[in-house]
Amino acid sequence: MNSLQERVAELADILLASKKTVVLTGAGISTESGIPDFRSPGGLWSKIDPMYAFSAETFIHRPEVFYKAGLPHLTSITTARPNRAHEVLAGLEKAGLISCVITQNVDGLHQRAGSTRVLEVHGHLRSATCMSCGSKITWDHLLDKVFAGQVPPRCGDCRGIYKPDCVFFGDSMTADFTEATREATTSELLLVVGSSLEVSPVNYLPMLAGKLAIVNLGPTMADRRALLVINNRAGQTMDLLWNELHSRGKV
Ligand code: APR
Protein backbone atom coordinates (compact mmCIF):
# COMPACT_ATOMS: atom_id res chain seq x y z
CA MET A 1 0.00 0.00 0.00
CA ASN A 2 1.65 3.23 -1.04
CA SER A 3 1.88 6.14 1.36
CA LEU A 4 -0.72 8.87 1.81
CA GLN A 5 1.58 11.34 0.03
CA GLU A 6 1.91 9.00 -2.96
CA ARG A 7 -1.87 8.59 -3.14
CA VAL A 8 -2.38 12.34 -2.93
CA ALA A 9 0.14 12.79 -5.77
CA GLU A 10 -1.88 10.26 -7.78
CA LEU A 11 -5.07 12.25 -7.03
CA ALA A 12 -3.32 15.41 -8.25
CA ASP A 13 -2.35 13.61 -11.48
CA ILE A 14 -5.94 12.44 -12.06
CA LEU A 15 -7.35 15.91 -11.29
CA LEU A 16 -4.90 17.74 -13.56
CA ALA A 17 -5.56 15.30 -16.42
CA SER A 18 -9.35 15.80 -16.19
CA LYS A 19 -11.03 18.24 -18.58
CA LYS A 20 -14.09 18.57 -16.31
CA THR A 21 -14.20 17.58 -12.64
CA VAL A 22 -17.15 17.77 -10.25
CA VAL A 23 -16.95 17.10 -6.52
CA LEU A 24 -19.68 15.31 -4.52
CA THR A 25 -19.57 15.99 -0.78
CA GLY A 26 -21.42 14.54 2.17
CA ALA A 27 -21.56 14.99 5.93
CA GLY A 28 -18.02 13.63 6.29
CA ILE A 29 -16.54 16.87 4.95
CA SER A 30 -18.20 18.80 7.80
CA THR A 31 -17.34 16.58 10.79
CA GLU A 32 -14.07 18.52 11.24
CA SER A 33 -16.24 21.62 11.56
CA GLY A 34 -17.93 19.99 14.57
CA ILE A 35 -21.05 18.72 12.79
CA PRO A 36 -21.63 15.00 13.42
CA ASP A 37 -22.29 12.90 10.35
CA PHE A 38 -25.19 10.46 10.12
CA ARG A 39 -23.88 6.90 9.83
CA SER A 40 -20.50 6.84 11.56
CA PRO A 41 -20.56 5.40 15.10
CA GLY A 42 -22.13 8.13 17.27
CA GLY A 43 -23.55 9.84 14.20
CA LEU A 44 -26.92 11.61 14.19
CA TRP A 45 -28.91 8.53 13.16
CA SER A 46 -27.59 6.69 16.22
CA LYS A 47 -29.31 9.34 18.36
CA ILE A 48 -32.57 9.98 16.51
CA ASP A 49 -34.65 7.88 14.13
CA PRO A 50 -34.47 9.76 10.81
CA MET A 51 -37.80 8.32 9.67
CA TYR A 52 -39.39 9.65 12.88
CA ALA A 53 -38.11 13.21 12.94
CA PHE A 54 -37.00 13.87 9.35
CA SER A 55 -39.59 12.19 7.14
CA ALA A 56 -42.01 14.14 4.95
CA GLU A 57 -44.81 11.78 6.05
CA THR A 58 -44.33 12.59 9.73
CA PHE A 59 -43.94 16.29 8.99
CA ILE A 60 -47.23 16.49 7.12
CA HIS A 61 -49.25 14.70 9.81
CA ARG A 62 -47.32 15.69 12.98
CA PRO A 63 -45.06 18.69 12.20
CA GLU A 64 -44.49 19.30 15.92
CA VAL A 65 -42.41 16.08 16.02
CA PHE A 66 -39.82 17.68 13.72
CA TYR A 67 -39.89 21.02 15.51
CA LYS A 68 -39.41 19.38 18.93
CA ALA A 69 -37.05 16.47 18.06
CA GLY A 70 -35.34 17.39 14.78
CA LEU A 71 -34.88 21.15 14.81
CA PRO A 72 -32.31 21.26 17.67
CA HIS A 73 -29.92 19.17 15.54
CA LEU A 74 -30.29 21.56 12.61
CA THR A 75 -29.87 24.74 14.64
CA SER A 76 -26.48 23.47 15.90
CA ILE A 77 -25.35 23.26 12.25
CA THR A 78 -25.85 26.95 11.50
CA THR A 79 -23.11 28.06 13.93
CA ALA A 80 -20.38 25.86 12.40
CA ARG A 81 -17.47 27.24 10.41
CA PRO A 82 -15.86 25.90 7.20
CA ASN A 83 -12.78 23.71 7.65
CA ARG A 84 -9.67 23.23 5.48
CA ALA A 85 -11.42 20.79 3.16
CA HIS A 86 -14.13 23.35 2.31
CA GLU A 87 -11.45 26.02 1.79
CA VAL A 88 -9.43 23.83 -0.58
CA LEU A 89 -12.50 23.05 -2.70
CA ALA A 90 -13.24 26.78 -2.95
CA GLY A 91 -9.62 27.33 -4.03
CA LEU A 92 -9.82 24.56 -6.63
CA GLU A 93 -12.91 26.23 -8.12
CA LYS A 94 -11.10 29.57 -8.28
CA ALA A 95 -8.09 27.85 -9.92
CA GLY A 96 -10.46 26.36 -12.55
CA LEU A 97 -9.63 22.78 -11.49
CA ILE A 98 -13.21 21.84 -10.48
CA SER A 99 -16.39 23.06 -12.14
CA CYS A 100 -18.81 22.71 -9.21
CA VAL A 101 -19.47 21.16 -5.84
CA ILE A 102 -22.51 18.91 -5.54
CA THR A 103 -23.31 18.66 -1.85
CA GLN A 104 -25.71 16.56 0.18
CA ASN A 105 -25.11 18.89 3.13
CA VAL A 106 -27.49 21.64 4.18
CA ASP A 107 -24.92 23.46 6.35
CA GLY A 108 -23.95 26.08 3.76
CA LEU A 109 -20.24 25.69 4.62
CA HIS A 110 -19.09 25.43 0.99
CA GLN A 111 -20.54 28.87 0.23
CA ARG A 112 -19.09 30.32 3.45
CA ALA A 113 -15.67 28.99 2.40
CA GLY A 114 -15.99 30.82 -0.94
CA SER A 115 -17.33 28.19 -3.36
CA THR A 116 -19.73 29.86 -5.79
CA ARG A 117 -20.98 26.93 -7.91
CA VAL A 118 -22.66 24.77 -5.25
CA LEU A 119 -25.54 22.42 -6.05
CA GLU A 120 -27.45 21.68 -2.83
CA VAL A 121 -29.19 18.44 -3.79
CA HIS A 122 -30.80 18.06 -0.32
CA GLY A 123 -31.77 21.71 -0.05
CA HIS A 124 -30.56 24.16 2.58
CA LEU A 125 -31.36 25.85 5.89
CA ARG A 126 -31.60 29.46 4.70
CA SER A 127 -35.41 29.64 4.50
CA ALA A 128 -38.72 27.85 5.06
CA THR A 129 -41.87 27.70 2.91
CA CYS A 130 -45.53 27.82 3.92
CA MET A 131 -47.06 24.49 2.88
CA SER A 132 -50.40 26.20 2.09
CA CYS A 133 -49.62 29.44 0.26
CA GLY A 134 -45.94 29.00 -0.62
CA SER A 135 -44.75 32.18 1.07
CA LYS A 136 -41.20 32.08 2.43
CA ILE A 137 -39.49 33.24 5.61
CA THR A 138 -35.83 33.27 6.60
CA TRP A 139 -34.41 30.57 8.87
CA ASP A 140 -33.83 33.14 11.63
CA HIS A 141 -37.44 34.32 11.43
CA LEU A 142 -38.60 30.68 11.56
CA LEU A 143 -36.50 30.12 14.70
CA ASP A 144 -37.90 33.30 16.27
CA LYS A 145 -41.41 31.89 15.88
CA VAL A 146 -40.42 28.47 17.29
CA PHE A 147 -38.47 29.92 20.24
CA ALA A 148 -41.44 32.21 20.97
CA GLY A 149 -43.45 29.02 21.45
CA GLN A 150 -45.23 28.84 18.08
CA VAL A 151 -44.84 25.09 17.34
CA PRO A 152 -45.41 24.38 14.53
CA PRO A 153 -44.58 27.87 13.17
CA ARG A 154 -47.40 29.28 11.07
CA CYS A 155 -47.67 31.64 8.15
CA GLY A 156 -48.74 35.16 9.10
CA ASP A 157 -50.92 35.39 5.99
CA CYS A 158 -52.79 32.10 5.74
CA ARG A 159 -51.94 30.26 9.01
CA GLY A 160 -50.35 27.45 6.97
CA ILE A 161 -47.40 25.54 8.49
CA TYR A 162 -43.83 26.43 7.56
CA LYS A 163 -41.55 23.62 6.33
CA PRO A 164 -37.75 24.18 6.12
CA ASP A 165 -36.37 24.23 2.56
CA CYS A 166 -34.29 21.07 3.10
CA VAL A 167 -35.24 17.67 1.66
CA PHE A 168 -36.95 15.34 4.12
CA PHE A 169 -36.98 11.58 3.59
CA GLY A 170 -39.75 10.95 1.07
CA ASP A 171 -39.67 14.48 -0.41
CA SER A 172 -39.10 14.92 -4.14
CA MET A 173 -35.57 15.96 -5.08
CA THR A 174 -34.54 19.55 -5.77
CA ALA A 175 -33.95 21.28 -9.09
CA ASP A 176 -30.28 21.32 -8.02
CA PHE A 177 -30.32 17.51 -8.19
CA THR A 178 -31.47 17.65 -11.81
CA GLU A 179 -28.59 20.00 -12.61
CA ALA A 180 -26.19 17.81 -10.59
CA THR A 181 -27.18 14.85 -12.76
CA ARG A 182 -26.31 16.89 -15.86
CA GLU A 183 -23.01 17.97 -14.31
CA ALA A 184 -22.03 14.42 -13.31
CA THR A 185 -23.01 13.01 -16.71
CA THR A 186 -20.82 15.52 -18.54
CA SER A 187 -17.87 15.25 -16.15
CA GLU A 188 -14.67 13.34 -16.86
CA LEU A 189 -13.94 12.92 -13.14
CA LEU A 190 -16.18 12.87 -10.07
CA LEU A 191 -14.39 13.22 -6.74
CA VAL A 192 -16.33 12.08 -3.66
CA VAL A 193 -15.31 13.73 -0.38
CA GLY A 194 -16.89 12.56 2.89
CA SER A 195 -19.91 10.50 1.93
CA SER A 196 -20.94 6.91 2.64
CA LEU A 197 -22.87 6.96 -0.68
CA GLU A 198 -25.67 5.12 1.16
CA VAL A 199 -28.55 7.36 0.06
CA SER A 200 -30.22 7.32 -3.32
CA PRO A 201 -30.72 8.91 -5.72
CA VAL A 202 -27.56 10.91 -5.00
CA ASN A 203 -25.46 7.74 -4.80
CA TYR A 204 -26.14 7.14 -8.49
CA LEU A 205 -24.21 10.29 -9.46
CA PRO A 206 -20.75 8.65 -9.11
CA MET A 207 -21.87 6.04 -11.65
CA LEU A 208 -22.57 8.73 -14.25
CA ALA A 209 -19.06 10.20 -14.39
CA GLY A 210 -16.25 8.96 -16.59
CA LYS A 211 -13.83 8.36 -13.72
CA LEU A 212 -14.30 8.21 -9.96
CA ALA A 213 -11.99 9.06 -7.05
CA ILE A 214 -13.00 8.84 -3.39
CA VAL A 215 -11.67 10.54 -0.27
CA ASN A 216 -13.56 9.07 2.67
CA LEU A 217 -12.71 7.71 6.12
CA GLY A 218 -14.94 4.66 5.72
CA PRO A 219 -15.68 2.24 2.87
CA THR A 220 -18.35 3.01 0.29
CA MET A 221 -20.37 0.94 -2.15
CA ALA A 222 -18.50 2.60 -5.04
CA ASP A 223 -14.94 1.86 -3.87
CA ARG A 224 -14.42 -1.09 -6.21
CA ARG A 225 -15.35 1.12 -9.16
CA ALA A 226 -13.07 4.00 -8.18
CA LEU A 227 -9.74 4.74 -9.88
CA LEU A 228 -8.40 5.81 -6.48
CA VAL A 229 -9.65 5.55 -2.89
CA ILE A 230 -8.00 7.47 -0.05
CA ASN A 231 -9.36 6.41 3.35
CA ASN A 232 -8.23 9.44 5.32
CA ARG A 233 -9.64 12.60 6.90
CA ALA A 234 -10.90 15.12 4.36
CA GLY A 235 -9.18 18.11 5.97
CA GLN A 236 -5.69 16.59 5.97
CA THR A 237 -6.09 14.95 2.56
CA MET A 238 -7.36 18.09 0.82
CA ASP A 239 -4.62 20.16 2.47
CA LEU A 240 -1.99 17.73 1.15
CA LEU A 241 -3.63 17.89 -2.30
CA TRP A 242 -3.46 21.69 -2.25
CA ASN A 243 0.24 21.62 -1.27
CA GLU A 244 0.96 19.06 -4.03
CA LEU A 245 -0.80 21.21 -6.65
CA HIS A 246 0.99 24.29 -5.35
CA SER A 247 4.38 22.53 -5.61
CA ARG A 248 3.53 21.88 -9.29
CA GLY A 249 2.61 25.53 -9.85
CA LYS A 250 -1.04 24.70 -10.54
CA VAL A 251 -2.60 26.75 -7.72
N1 APR B 1 -13.02 12.89 6.58
C2 APR B 1 -13.41 12.00 5.62
N3 APR B 1 -14.50 11.22 5.73
C4 APR B 1 -15.22 11.32 6.87
C5 APR B 1 -14.87 12.21 7.92
C6 APR B 1 -13.71 13.01 7.73
N7 APR B 1 -13.29 13.89 8.67
N8 APR B 1 -15.79 12.07 8.92
C9 APR B 1 -16.67 11.12 8.51
N10 APR B 1 -16.33 10.68 7.28
C11 APR B 1 -17.02 9.70 6.44
C12 APR B 1 -17.64 8.54 7.18
O13 APR B 1 -16.73 7.44 7.22
C14 APR B 1 -18.86 8.22 6.31
O15 APR B 1 -18.57 7.19 5.37
O16 APR B 1 -18.09 10.40 5.86
C17 APR B 1 -19.16 9.51 5.57
C18 APR B 1 -20.45 10.17 6.02
O19 APR B 1 -21.50 9.33 5.63
P20 APR B 1 -22.99 9.63 6.15
O21 APR B 1 -22.97 9.88 7.62
O22 APR B 1 -23.85 8.54 5.61
O23 APR B 1 -23.36 11.02 5.46
P24 APR B 1 -23.80 11.26 3.96
O25 APR B 1 -23.11 10.31 3.05
O26 APR B 1 -23.65 12.69 3.71
O27 APR B 1 -25.38 10.92 4.02
C28 APR B 1 -26.13 11.23 2.88
O29 APR B 1 -28.15 10.76 4.12
O30 APR B 1 -29.40 10.90 6.01
C31 APR B 1 -29.23 11.45 4.77
O32 APR B 1 -29.84 13.63 4.17
C33 APR B 1 -28.85 12.90 4.85
O34 APR B 1 -27.48 14.12 3.27
C35 APR B 1 -27.53 12.98 4.12
C36 APR B 1 -27.51 11.70 3.29
Any idea where the domains of the chain sit in the sequence? 1-35+83-122+173-251, 41-79+123-166
User: Mutate which of 196, 200, 221 to test ligand 1's pocket (most atoms within 8 Å of Cβ)?
Assistant: 196
Distance 116 CA to ligand 1 centre (A): 22
18 C-beta closer than 6 A to ligand 1: no
pLDDT tens, the chain, 251 aa long: 579 999 999 999 999 999 999 999 999 999 999 999 999 999 988 988 888 899 999 999 999 999 998 888 888 788 899 999 999 999 999 999 999 999 999 999 999 999 999 999 999 999 999 999 999 999 999 999 999 999 999 999 999 999 999 999 999 999 999 999 999 999 999 999 999 999 999 999 999 999 999 999 999 999 999 999 999 999 999 999 999 999 999 99
Residue in 109, 123, 42 with CA at minimum distance from that of residue 79: 109
In this structure, whether the domain defined by 41-79+123-166 belongs to CATH 3.40.50.150 is answered with no
- Compute CA distances 75 → 15, 72, 124, 211, 226, whole Å: 35, 5, 12, 36, 35
Residue in 138, 211, 213, 199 with CA at minimum distance from that of residue 169: 199
Closest protein CA for atom 11 of ligand 1: 28
Distance 196 CA to ligand 1 centre (A): 5
The CATH T-level fold of domain 1-35+83-122+173-251 is Rossmann fold (3.40.50)
112 C-beta closer than 6 A to ligand 1: no
234 C-beta closer than 6 A to ligand 1: yes
138: part of which helix (H) or strand (E)? strand 136-138
Give the integer Cα–Cα distance in Å for 51 and 55. Answer: 5
How high is the pLDDT of residue 72?
A: 85
Distance 217 CA to ligand 1 centre (A): 9
Whether 237 and 191 have beta carbons less than 8 Å apart is answered as no
Closest protein CA for atom 36 of ligand 1: 199
Give the integer Cα–Cα distance in Å for 232 and 48. Answer: 27
25 C-beta closer than 6 A to ligand 1: no
Distance 248 CA to ligand 1 centre (A): 31
Atom of ligand 1 nearest to the CA of 32: 7
How high is the pLDDT of residue 1?
A: 54
